[in-house]
A and B are shown apart, each in its own frame.
Chain A
Amino acid sequence: MSDVSQPAAHPPVTDWLNDFDHTDPQWTEDPFPIWDELRAASPVVHTERFLGCYLPTTYEAVRAIANDPEHFSSRRIIVRDARPEITKSAAPPITSDPPVHKPAKQLLLPPFTPDAMKKLEPRVRAICNELIDGFITEKQVDAAARYTKHIPVRAIAHMLGIPESDSDLFINWIHMILELGIKDENMLLQAVHEMSDYFSAHIEERRSRPTDDLISYLMNARGKDGQPLEEEHVLGSLRLLLIAGIDTTWSAIGSSLWHLAHTPADRERLVAEPELMPTAVEEFLRAYSPVTMAREVVKETTVSGCPVKPGNMVLLSFPAANRDPKMFPDADKVVIDRRENRHAAFGLGIHRCVGSNLARMEMQVALEEWLKRIPDFALDPAGSVTWSQGTVRGPRQLPFLLGKAM
């Protein structure tokens, strides 16, 4: 494995309409004007990069693709430089198509209902307050490094029944898979191996000492045939829950705090009207949707009148759909009391995010606890905000000044 060449650097984009690249620094920094430009030009655009990839730019086109698993397969869900062979049941159900998808999805749904999340909520509130205790007396704080980054990883570790203290390990795997893995196959494979070994050890432990957690739940689950799931299925689902549940919500909480840091009117309103928080959370999800998924075109078809050919990937940008002014009046404005909000932050159709109720609860709790204890904060002009690259977008450095005396 050591003689594989280094990943190729991508040339900077000069023609977004015919040569888009979601790993370009300009996209990472501020994708919104790019999406507006592309949407004005066509509902579907194409790039030769990533061995060929389409980008739907409108809500309508994104919805059509999400609801059409016959032409758009989920067997590949990250747009990358390489398209290695598919391994069997990589991470069901997110990498599954009908008819395999439904039973795998139904297996994961019961632990993530709104009622199940209510039981987890006190632990998440405690996690938030433990983190705030760690920096409340400081004037300057990186809210990404000290707060947002740690909340979802600890919550999902709690649900899975693995030590919250292993968080840094999980965060590193996710970085290797979702960011470095776009251009570096070895990095991705290494992370997948390490995760599988980690979970195998936890499964082994539970054979002699069963626990009341998600790992045991999956070990005890039965497939359609009444038999226990194959270990590879259990491992794939565990990898999925860990990967999907962490930097996604970390990004959503971070983007929301970033917005509140530089929008005092919204911050003051949420402090004065805490009952508005669930509505505001939906608007943050729309305006700063963190997750861009992907599909692989497996049959020729058309989307919004544009021909789409097999052999290409599709960058399924729910974030771009959520900024479509045809669907959302004042789409480029954050309206924290927006009443009608059919946003697609958690996807549309059969692959709706399994953890959407968890993510919503974590966002609401993280913002509530922060605002209760830190009603006044602002971006630190001496620092710089940096954003993650690729599949999940959110602030990775969030330098804040805390308190009124700034």
Chain B
Amino acid sequence: MAERLKVHVDPDKCQGHARCKALAPELFELDEYGNAHEAGDGTVPAGLEDKAWLAKSNCPEIAIDVIEE
């Protein structure tokens, strides 16, 4: 059985590089300053798991967690 993933952006670490939004626009949103947060409750829809890991591994501030539930 496939595990469900959730993404989470640590708002204290995020500096608004916006790499996550570019790589996984379905999973992240930006505020008026361009800082990121997860879309909704962060649940990663089936089929977008790769994008979640890609966003995490490209964040220069190491601000993104991918949680396996």
Contact = CB atoms under 8 A, between A and B. Distances in A.
Interface string A87-120: 0000000000000000000100110111100000
Interface string A332-357: 00000001111110101110100011
B57 A113 contact: no
B60 A342 contact: yes
Interface residues of B, number: 17
A289 B15 CA distance: 19
Interface in A104-139: 106, 109-110, 112-115
A8 to B, nearest CB: 38
Contacts, number: 52
A112 B34 contact: yes
B18 A110 contact: no
B43 interface: no
A110 B34 CA distance: 7
A241 to B, nearest CB: 16
Contact of A346 (B17, B32, B54, B62): B17
Interface string B26-69: 00001011100000000000000000001001111110000000
Contacts of A357: 18, 34
Contacts of A339: 54, 57
B21 interface: yes
A113 B54 CA distance: 21
Given A106-B33, A110-B32, A278-B22, A343 B60 contact: yes
B35 to A, nearest CB: 8
A340 B57 CA distance: 6
Nearest to A344: B60
A352 B17 contact: yes
Contacts of B58: 282, 340-342
A352 B19 CA distance: 13
B60 A348 contact: yes
9 contacts: A109-B32, A112-B34, A113-B34, A114-B34, A342-B58, A342-B62, A343-B60, A346-B17, A352-B17
